[in-house]
Amino acid sequence: MAGIIFYYEDSDTDVWSGKNNDAWNYALKASSSFENVIIINNSTSEPEDINREFALNKVTSLEDAIALTTGTIAQIVCPWNYPDSEKVSLWDYDHSADWYITGPAAGWANAEIPGATKVYVPQDGVASLHSIHIATTVLMHRYKVIQGL
């Protein structure tokens, strides 16, 4: 059983795949074994629901989201925000987390989630990938590792 936490922000309402959570629906289905979704709603509008097969909670703060989790957390971070000694590359990660959490569009600002493993996706340059775009990469890599492919 695994879960994912993501932020829903006003910038997500500008594109169809963000507004109706399409990108999340497909990434979660393709990677399998996810049962729980928590949306941190920082938008002035209400996010659409995720597909029925996921247990869904909507909250308004990171603290409220973390309070709903049990087990280990993989915090998806930008590669330049943390020293190498504090993070692991997605390509080297064993995907042992019970929960995955992606940050807000403005970044984590070095936010600490106690006990979380910081995981980054190697990339050229410092163009932050929003969570809606990076989700598929992270979740499909998880599928590959868990399936032993």
Q: Is the pLDDT of residue 17 over 60?
A: no
pLDDT at 28: 80
Q: What is the pLDDT of residue 18?
A: 58
Q: What is the pLDDT of residue 93?
A: 97
- 3-class SS of residue 83: coil
CA–CA separation, 52 vs 45, rounded Å? 20
pLDDT the model gives residue 131: 78
Strand order in the sheet with 2-8: 55-59, 34-41, 2-8, 99-102, 73-77, 117-120, 87-89
**53: pLDDT strictly greater than 90:** no
Q: What is the mean pLDDT of residues 97-116?
A: 86
Pairing of strands 87-89, 55-59: unpaired
Would you say residue 97 has pLDDT above 70? yes
Average pLDDT over residues 104-113: 78
pLDDT band at 2 (very low <50, low <70, confident <90, very high): confident
For tokens 């990469």, the residue is: 137
